[in-house]
Amino acid sequence: MVIGVRWLATIRELPTAPVSKFERIGAHTHIKGLGLDDNLKAVKIKDGMVGQEKAREAAGLVVRMIKEGKLSGKCIILAGPPGTGKTAIAVAISKELGENVPFIQMSGSEIYSTERKKTEILIEAIRKCIGVEIHEMRKVYEGEVTSIDIRTAPHPYNPYQKIPESVRLTLKTKDDERTIEAGASIAQQIIAEGISEGYVIQIDAETGRVVNLGLCLESHKGKSYEVDTRRKVPRPDGKVLKEKEFVYTLTLADLDELNAKQRSGSIFSFLFGGPELREIDAEIRMEVDQQVKEWVDGGRAFIHPGVLFIDDAHLLDLEAFSFLSRAMESELVPIIILATNRGIARIRGTDIKSPLGFPVDLLDRAVIIPTYPYDIDSIREILKIRASEEKIKIEEAALERLAEIGSKSSMRYAVQLLSLAAQNAKAKSKERVTLEDVERVDELFMDVSEAAEYLRKHEEKLLIH
Ligand SMILES: Nc1ncnc2c1ncn2[C@@H]1O[C@H](COP(=O)(O)OP(=O)(O)OP(=O)(O)O)[C@@H](O)[C@H]1O
Ligand SMILES: [Mg+2]
């Protein structure tokens, strides 16, 4: 058919062009850790960190205590002028803690939502930071499938269609072999999982859930396929029917959600996740807490308090602060780290002035880690690290000028100029950033004090109605 040919002719193969990787460089991508030695002493330049030794050492102690589980319900404040590395230190703390400790980062401004209550947002954030490691002993049938016989029966409404009715399986381990017979639900799962002879499977003795662990290494199929993308596992040892320990790591927020979904009860919420739950009520959380406490008392669960880091915490208001103070006294709380660059400031939502813009009762419960402005040497080193992070080649004289600018205005401004100068050099097809590029961009852009000075001078001319 002509149409068919024309249709075919429109198909063409696309050249397999290599996908170029798009790399994003964020403000803190160069931070890999706190840069401490084994005795928790700060090494001047390590892990992308430069200077600010005392704060890094303090943070190191905090990390050690968090890892040992000794610090739950404590509050740590990072306080210092803008651009002195508070956020950088928090990022380093999260890197040091590793993946198994929950670390949630938010900004003080995130509590202001038109849809949700402030306290609701905070409770959820807190619960996301508490890991619960649950150990469960379950009876399972486990082994390599050596024979499989699925029996079918006519569909009750459509006799021409066959549906699986039952299954007879032989499972083999290194030391045991057993033949079991199971009903329709297990037979369906076996078909759905694509399980046949040679696979190692696990069937929960109580719930009948089937898990396909992969192709058995010792099986005929496992040996014969040379290039095979399927996962391969050794034949299990021990008995076919055994008690096995399963370990799950969830957070309290995960458990709340599971509990809420179970409650909402509809089959669709089980299958498809259901509608997004906007708020989880207090009752559900209480139930979860109760359950978790029972598990912990029974030795079946372990709590891993993580870290809730609230950046720009002076944006929180009195209500949020009082909520946090109260939360710190309850049993299941993470470590709370707050960062602020305010000196004496008004506590949001009140007319009261207070150090750091935090209420005194919160300050009283906290330990404060100060960060100090950088000297020119540290600024130069940080600029060097940023240059290598952004793959910028820069001449000595240009770097020196940027460091000077950084010490006079701010480090952030110097870091920004570095990227701009690199762009300027690129526009001129130069490989290296020179003094000329730095001077050019310094002339084109203003730092804050220049901007303030300029605006003050020209105030009258600007639009004032
Ligand atoms: N000691 C350091 N070593 C390496 N890089 C640093 C260090 N301190 C800060 N930086 C980098 O300098 C920039 C500014 O620091 P950061 O954002 O942490 O400041 P901050 O104290 O959080 O400021 P703000 O109060 O404005 O939030 C970031 O890119 C950060 O990664
Ligand atoms: Mg910050």
Q: What angle do CA 284, 282, 255 make, to 5 degrees?
A: 35
What the chain holds in terms of domains, given with CATH numbers, is: 45-129+306-370 (3.40.50.300), 135-248 (2.40.50.360), 250-301 (no CATH), 376-457 (1.10.8.60)
Going from the Cα of 312 to the center of ligand 2, the distance in angstroms, rounded, reads 7
Give, as one character, the DSSP assignment of residue 344. Answer: E
3-class secondary-structure state, position 437? helix
Residue 53 structure tokens: 């030794």
Amino acid letter, residue 150: I
Q: Are 434 and 441 in contact (CB under 8 A)?
A: no
Q: What is the mean pLDDT of the chain?
A: 83
Helix 376-389 vs helix 396-408: crossing angle, to nearest 10: 120
Q: Whose CA is nearest to atom 25 of ligand 1?
A: 82
Q: What is the pLDDT of residue 20?
A: 52
Full pLDDT tens readout for the chain, 465 residues: 344 444 444 555 555 545 555 556 788 888 889 999 888 888 888 888 998 999 999 999 988 888 887 666 778 999 998 888 899 999 899 888 877 788 889 999 988 887 788 888 898 899 998 888 888 888 899 999 999 998 888 888 887 888 888 889 899 999 999 998 888 888 888 888 888 888 999 998 888 888 898 888 888 776 776 666 678 889 999 898 988 888 888 889 888 888 887 766 554 444 455 555 556 778 888 888 888 999 889 888 888 888 899 999 999 999 999 988 888 888 778 889 999 998 888 998 888 888 898 998 888 888 899 999 888 999 999 999 999 888 888 888 889 999 999 888 888 889 989 999 999 888 888 888 888 898 888 888 877 777 777 777 776 665 555
Residue 118 structure tokens: 């402030």
Question: What ranges in 353-427 are assigned the alpha helix state H?
Answer: 360-365, 376-389, 396-408, 411-427
Looking up tokens 């359950």 gives 291
H helices then E strands: how many in the chain? 16, 17
Q: Whose CA is nearest to atom 9 of ligand 1?
A: 85
Residues framing ligand 1 (Cβ under 6 A): 27-28, 31, 48-52, 80, 82-88, 341, 371, 382, 411-412, 415
Provide the CB-side half-sphere exposure for 82 (13 A, CA).
8
Going from the Cα of 91 to the center of ligand 2, the distance in angstroms, rounded, reads 10
Ligand at minimal distance from the CA of 86 is 1
Distance, first Cα to last Cα, the chain:
76
Using the atom order of ligand 1, give the atom closest to the CA of residue 90. 18
Going from the Cα of 72 to the center of ligand 2, the distance in angstroms, rounded, reads 24
Among 44, 46, 89, 382, name the best residue to mutate to test ligand 1's pocket (greatest count of ligand atoms within 8 A of Cβ).
382
Q: DSSP states of 256-267 as a string? A: HHHHHHHHH--H
Q: What is the pLDDT of residue 228?
A: 62
What confidence tens digit (pLDDT) does each residue in 247-300 have? 888 889 888 888 887 766 554 444 455 555 556 778 888 888 888 999 889 888
Task: Please identify every residue whose CB atom is under 5 Å from ligand 2, which is an ion.
Answer: 87
Using the atom order of ligand 1, give the atom closest to the CA of residue 27. 29
What is the rounded CA–CA span in Å between residue 395 and residue 383?
12
Looking up tokens 């003094």 gives 435
Amino acid letter, residue 5: V
Residue 23 structure tokens: 């790399």
Residue 254 structure tokens: 């995960």
Pairing of strands 75-79, 366-370: parallel
Ligand at minimal distance from the CA of 341 is 1
